[in-house]
Amino acid sequence: MDFKPLSGREFPRFSAIKTFFRLPVAEVTQAFDVGIFGVPFDGAVSYRPGARFAPSQVRETSSLGRGFHASRGLQVFDRLKVADLGDCPTVPIDQSQTSQRIEDFTDRLLLANKRFLAVGGDHSITLPLLRSVHRKHGRVNFIHFDAHLDTYPTAWGCEYHHGSFARHAVEEGLVDPHQMIQIGIRGPFVGKDDLDFARQKGIRVFTIDHIRNGSLADFLNGLPEFTGPTYLSFDVDCLDPAYAPGTGTPVPGGLTSYEVQRILRALRVRKLVAGDVVEVSPPYDTSEITSLLAVDVLFEMLCLMSAG
């Protein structure tokens, strides 16, 4: 199988069975490089649900995805064999069972030496994904786009929720806090000690003010280089709600779609082993604005993977 998207010039983009980027559906045993799969779970959100519907909506919207990156000058589907692996099994009313299923699904994929992109789901899904990645690659570099720090404490007596995954990832030793950046962070915070965890662990936090106060070019030039195995997690609420309204916990004053593109294009990542796009909530997504952006982020991540 050549793992090419179905041509829009043969079959119109509004036709055909919907898969990510109109790619073939594959089994893990087949000869592809990168598997894209859905994780339709939103049982760990603190506010608006709906992210369980993102994988099917992003598949639908990705019919508009194309393979040639204009500014990078590369045809990503010539460089990488990419497949749609379907959806990871989930249990909509049980987060711990869902986490176990995510780890089992991802372990199988990584055992077969594949890379992956996961489409959430709420941000709680990143922790089991990182546990699997850690078993395969050891402690990874971590690039985290978000309005929120996601290093928050227990809520309603529950340790695991979509606002605590990053704290657990550091505490479990899955990611290297000194090779971890958070991009797009902004208030309001719950309290003035919200940033203490990042400070104590040595995580670099790039707030929206860091990005906007000077020129974008200066900000991009100051981004660190990542050499070892790296994971990129993209929470769409890093964008301003004007650019990504379809999300569970929107925060005004965020990034624009173009700023996100520029940052993703400027990242110097030698070895992107896995990534995810989370927190797209189709019921709140006017005109599919947010799922279109998610498709673009997946495309940029594929381009990053094709480089190393």
What is the binding site for Mn ion (CB under 5 A)? Answer: 123, 146-148, 150, 235, 237
Residue 138 CB, nearest approach to Mn ion (Å): 24
How many C-beta atoms surround the C-beta of residue 47 within 10 A? 11
Q: How far apart are CA 272 and CA 201, in angstroms?
A: 23
- Comparing CA positions, the residue from 226, 300, 305 lying closest to residue 261 is 300
Q: Using the minimum distance from each CB to Mn ion, give the nearer residue, 176 or 235.
A: 235
Q: Using the minimum distance from each CB to Mn ion, give the nearer residue, 18 or 201.
A: 201
- Residue 100: left (phi > 0), alpha (psi -120 to 50), or beta? alpha
Task: Say which residues have a Cβ less than 8 Å from residue 269's Cβ, sequence separation at least 6.
Answer: 141, 143, 226, 230, 232, 304, 307, 308
Q: How far apart are CA 124 and CA 201, in angstroms?
A: 21
Q: Using the minimum distance from each CB to Mn ion, give the nearer residue, 103 or 235.
A: 235
Q: Using the minimum distance from each CB to Mn ion, give the nearer residue, 143 or 303.
A: 143
Q: Using the minimum distance from each CB to Mn ion, give the nearer residue, 46 or 97.
A: 46
| Cβ atoms 133, 222 nearer than 8 A | no
Residue 146 CB, nearest approach to Mn ion (Å): 4
Q: Using the minimum distance from each CB to Mn ion, give the nearer residue, 55 or 248.
A: 248
- Measured N-to-C along each axis, helices 54-61 and 289-307 cross at an angle, to the nearest 10 degrees, of 80
> Tokens 């599919």 correspond to what residue?
288
Q: Using the minimum distance from each CB to Mn ion, give the nearer residue, 24 or 253.
A: 253
Q: How far apart are CA 90 and CA 95, in angstroms?
A: 8
Residue 14 CB, nearest approach to Mn ion (Å): 32
Question: From residue 213, how far is each of 184, 206, 210, 221 by CA, in Å?
Answer: 13, 11, 6, 14
Residue 35 CB, nearest approach to Mn ion (Å): 23
Alpha carbon 252 to its chain's center: 20
Residue 150 CB, nearest approach to Mn ion (Å): 4
Residue 300 CB, nearest approach to Mn ion (Å): 18
Residue 57 CB, nearest approach to Mn ion (Å): 18
Residue 247 CB, nearest approach to Mn ion (Å): 7
Q: Using the minimum distance from each CB to Mn ion, give the nearer residue, 267 or 277.
A: 277
Side by side, which strands form the sheet with 268-278? Answer: 82-87, 34-39, 115-120, 268-278, 225-235, 140-145, 175-185, 204-207
